[in-house]
Structure 1
């Protein structure tokens, strides 16, 4: 059975489009006989996650809350954080909890402050999920002069992970980074990671950042190999989210019902967060 399943998996992967849509996850779920997420438990696990107000991050947070996790939401808008905290608390298992720390990932001082707050509240951290991200069709520059896609999706995760490594080590945790299949379209040249104004493309800048995320996880794994912390970069497939609809409106029009749901996009993320090391 494994041989047949692996052959089907490789065939889907080679065709790209079926693999990344709801077709791919539906077929794999059957041929590999996946364990339903509802059978897993995250009781006693504390997980910090960015990008939780909508889409994949929201779906992942809902699933982990229902599995009993102690969630620490990281976001910049306090009103939204309070609303999401309240809604997730209603779905949370009795053993879990939901709190939040405020930080705009485009402002490194706020990232530092959020990491300090999380570290002081939770000696052991069992998961850190980098899910926040956006595709900017027009080039945006942060106050310090750094291109915003790079700062939010590469620099901020690096800082947050570095500051929380003692807590992750204490909890023998996992660092999970939501990358994208778009990274296949970009190589990694550090000197040109930030695209200049005259050649800027939102999709290409996004792809470069996602490629950098994958490489960053490889570097973390090498650097912290003896810490007991695991590092994973993953691809959610092609998912119907507000972010995709806003940044790539034509994408949804072409693929339409073939796009995965946010819950399907979050499936692997939740499984990795819940699985024992």
Structure 2
């Protein structure tokens, strides 16, 4: 079955995820959707110092938005902050240093942000990692899972009180079409049983988890609009470092980072977001299917709820101060 899924997915990717796929899809875009002024609105973007996150920060800042950059590396974050300010002409850019793989630090960050009195209209969960050899965090979590899944959950849930006090709140998760080859494995969420460890498959499992999370969040917080989006196969520093073989084979076909960020920006700034369904998976400004045909990747409501229960318990077990 995995060979079938991977084959169907790769064929789909060659048709849709490349730069040619973007050019084809963009013929139906309504560019007026991006002709908006978001002055006075506040956007938090994790992993905003490079790639898709930085592109989104620049374009949102050009439209007047206040940007809260959340970056792991302070120096790289400061360099990107200066670039975003210079390119956009917007000085309302703020930097927060945070390692998304450390759940306790993520929780502490959400508490401090809430206490700060800052407002937040849009949370963009963009930061992620694909580590090809299993690494454990100091808290004992698989690092891919801690960053991509648990960190995203803690940040989202921890900031919902702030979002709920804001006008037109939104949460966007940058996921991946690679999740289409994975079925949620509720018995092994951190892929400890995967032998040999395969970072690509672990990443895809994490991204499947994110898609389920977005579906569940929309039920928990119906006044917040939730969405996931797939940027396509884009030329970013993360792709070059985590998937060097894929990059070398596909570099002439990859989208630019700006093309990869297009749907993310569209979801973040467009007016009348509630005209779009919440909890869905978007690609090139369209809702797309979360499952490949005949791939048997759908899971039960029980399993989906169990994922949320496990994540909630992990969050509740963290130190409160």
In the superposition, the TM-score normalised over structure 1's length comes to: 0.88
**Equivalent of residue 71 in structure 1, options 53, 63, 67:** 67
Write the deviation string for residues 120-159 of structure 1: whole angstroms up to 9, x where unpaired.
3455311001111111111110111110111101111111
Write the deviation string for residues 10-52 of structure 1: whole angstroms up to 9, x where unpaired.
xxx984312111111111211x143167623221110111011
- 2:34 and 2:89 mapped to 1: Cα distance? 12
Q: Does 1:199 align with 2:196?
A: yes
Q: Does 1:159 align with 2:154?
A: yes
Range moving further from structure 2, 259-268 or 239-248: 239-248
Query: Is there any run of 5+ residues in structure 2 with no aligned partner, and where?
Result: 1-9, 274-321
Q: Does 1:271 align with 2:237?
A: no
Q: Is the 8 A contact 1:128 1:175 kept in 2?
A: yes
Alignment correspondent of 1:53: 49
Per the TM alignment, residue 254 of structure 1 is displaced from its structure 2 partner at its CA by 1.9
Q: Is the 8 A contact 2:47 2:72 kept in 1?
A: no
Per the TM alignment, residue 93 of structure 1 is displaced from its structure 2 partner at its CA by 4.3
Q: Does 1:261 align with 2:267?
A: no
- 1:74 and 1:20 mapped to 2: Cα distance? 27
Instruction: Give the SS at the match of 1:199.
Output: coil
Alignment correspondent of 1:189: 185
Range moving further from structure 2, 200-209 or 164-173: 164-173
Q: Does 1:21 align with 2:18?
A: yes
Write the deviation string for residues 156-180 of structure 1: whole angstroms up to 9, x where unpaired.
1111111110111111311000000
Alignment correspondent of 1:10: none
Q: Is the 8 A contact 1:48 1:128 kept in 2?
A: yes
**Equivalent of residue 163 in structure 2, options 156, 159, 168:** 168
Alignment correspondent of 1:5: none
Range moving further from structure 2, 106-115 or 156-165: 106-115
RMSD: 1.9
Range moving further from structure 2, 117-126 or 181-190: 117-126
Range moving further from structure 2, 70-79 or 118-127: 118-127
In the superposition, the TM-score normalised over structure 2's length comes to: 0.77
- Shift in alpha-carbon separation, 1:14–1:137, aligned structure 2, 3 A: closer
- Shift in alpha-carbon separation, 1:117–1:26, aligned structure 2, 3 A: same
Q: Is the 8 A contact 1:102 1:110 kept in 2?
A: no
**Equivalent of residue 212 in structure 2, options 199, 203, 215:** 215
- 1:69 and 1:274 mapped to 2: Cα distance? 9
Write the deviation string for residues 183-203 of structure 1: whole angstroms up to 9, x where unpaired.
011110122121226331100
- 2:17 and 2:117 mapped to 1: Cα distance? 36
Q: Is the 8 A contact 1:50 1:131 kept in 2?
A: yes
Query: Is there any run of 5+ residues in structure 1 with no aligned partner, and where?
Result: 1-12
Q: Does 1:99 align with 2:65?
A: no
- 1:83 and 1:114 mapped to 2: Cα distance? 22
Instruction: Give the SS at the match of 2:165.
Output: helix
Alignment of 1:142-153 (within 5 A): 142-153=137-148
